[in-house]
Amino acid sequence: MRNISLRFLAVFFLLILLAWPARGNTVSGSWDNKVTMLPQVSPIDSFSSTLTLDYSAGEVDYSSTPDFSLSGFSDQEFTVDFSFNKPQFVSTLDFDPADNSFDYWLNTTTMSVPKNIELTHKFLLQKTESGNFGSGMEFKISGDIPDTGDLTLTNLFGMEEDSGKESDYAIVTSHGDIEGAYGPSLTQYVSSKLELSGMELGCVSFDSEALLSEANGFEYLDFSFDIYHASLDLTFSSTLKFTPVEKSITLDPSLTMDFACFTIYNEIPDSVSNDTDTNSTITGLEIEGFSLTGIELGEMTFSSYTALGDNTVSDLNGDFDYGDNYDEVFRIKKSDELLLTLDGYFDMTESDGLFDFALLDGTASYDLSDQFTLGAGAELGPAAGLQKLEFSLDYSF
C-alpha cells in the first residue's frame, strides 16, 4: 500500500506541475472530508476523504479521484475525456490498492450522426468474483423521432447492468440457470432493451420499454402512462406490465393530488392480475399519507409529512431514508449563508414518550469562503441522547 500511495502522490504532483497556469492549462477540483462519531459506541465510527483533481489541456480533460477511509487508501480512479470533431472518447481506470490491481477499465465512444441520432459504444474490462478478468460491450442507438418521442435501443454483449458494481455493469458467464456456460471474455450476446419515451396525446403521456434476452427470449413489455388534469391538479399514473413467461399482466395505478402546498399520497394496494391461477381483481384507493410543505416563517420554511397505516415517512419522501418506523416528521429549514435543516421525527405507533417524539436530526453547512465549506450534523434521541455526530470540510479549487 505504501508503494501505491507514493506512486499516486508522484502522479498527483506531476499533474499539478503540468497544469501550472503559466503553461495555459487549467486545474480544478475538490477535497471532501467527513468524519462520523457515535458517542454511545466508539469515538470515531467512520472517516472518508475524497480528493478530485480535474486537469484540462486543450480538448483533453484528465481526472484523478483517490478515496481514503479509516483503513487507509481505499480506491483510485483515473479518467481521460477527449474529443476529435464529432467522436468523443472517455476512458476510466479504477484501481484497487489492496490487491495491487485494477477493478475495471471502461472505455466509452460517442458519436452523433445526422437526423439527431447518437451512437454509443462501451468496452469494459473488469475483475470477476473469481478474481479473473472478463470483458463486455454495449452498443446503444438513441435519437429523437419527430411527433413520436425519444427512442433508445441498448444491446449488451458479455455483461449486464448492475447498479451494485462501481462500473454499473457485471460480467455475464451464465445462460439462464446454467452457471459457467460462457467464458468471462467471450462477449456473447446478452440482451436488447428498446425504450420509447415522451409520446404525448393531449393530456396523456406514454412511455414503453421492452426487454429481450439470449437466455429467456422476450422477457417483458412495460407500458406506462400519465393522465394530467390541469384545472384539478390531478395526475393518474399507471404501469401495465406483460410477462409472457409467467403468463401474467399487472397493472399498478396511482393517483397524485397536489393542492398548492398540500399533497396527498396514495396508491391502489392490490395490482390487477390475470393469470392461470387467479381472477382479475382491484381494490379501493389507499391514502398513504399527506404533507404540508413550503410554509414560510420569517427567514425559515416549515414542512410536515404524516404517514398513515403501515407506511413510514420514507415511503412518502426519499429524503427521509431512516429504516425505523417513523410516521411523522416536522422539518424547519433555513437557506442563506448558513444552510440549516432540523428534522423532528415522531413514532405515533409504538412510542411511549411525550408527544411520541423519537429523533431529532440536524444538519448545517456554512460557506467560510468561495472555496471552503464547513458542515456538521447530529442525531439526538430521547432515550440514548446524542447518537451520532458528523463533521465535514469541503475544499474546491
Q: How many CB atoms lie within 10 A of CB 379?
A: 20
Tell me what the mean pLDDT of segment 236-253 comes to: 73
Rg (CA), the chain: 26
Average pLDDT, the chain: 82
- Mean pLDDT on 239-248: 76
120, with CB counted inside 10 A (0-12, 13-18, 19+), is middle
Residue 326 to residue 316: CA distance in whole angstroms: 11
What pLDDT score was predicted for residue 170? 94
Model confidence at 210: pLDDT above 80: yes
pLDDT of 374 reads 94
Confidence band for 336, pLDDT divided at 50, 70 and 90: confident
**Once rounded to an integer, what is the mean pLDDT over residues 355-366?**
88
* Spatial CA neighbour of 303 closest among 275, 276, 333, 277: 333
| SS3 per residue for the chain | CHHHHHHHHHHHHHHHHHCCHHHCCEEEEEEEEEEEEECCCEEEEEEEEEEEEEEEECCEEEEEEEEEECCEEEEEEEEEEEECCCCEEEEEEEEEHHHCEEEEEEEEEEEEECCCEEEEEEEEEEECCCCCEEEEEEEEEEEEECCCEEEEEEEEECEEECCCCCCCEEECCCECCECCCCCCCCCCEEEEEEEEEEEEECCEEEEEEEEEECCCEEEEEEEEEEEEECCCCEEEEEEEEEECCCCEEEEEEEEEEEECCEEEEEECCCCEECCCCCCCCCCCCEEEEEEEEEEEECCEEEEEEEECCCCCHHHHCCCCCCCCCCCEEEEEEECCCEEEEEEEEECCCCCCCHHHEEEEEEEEEEECCCCEEEEEEEEEECCCEEEEEEEEEEEEC
**DSSP-assigned beta bridge partners for residue 1:** none
More confident residue, 295 or 376: 376
pLDDT at 250 over 90: no
- Residue 355 CB neighbour total at 10 angstroms: 10
Residue, of 311 and 14, whose pLDDT is higher: 311
Instruction: Kindly report the length of the chain.
Output: 397
Confidence of residue 6 (pLDDT cuts 50, 70, 90): very low
The per-residue pLDDT for 282 is 55
Q: Is-above-0.85 flag for pTM?
A: no
pLDDT band for 161, please (50, 70, 90 cuts).
Answer: very high
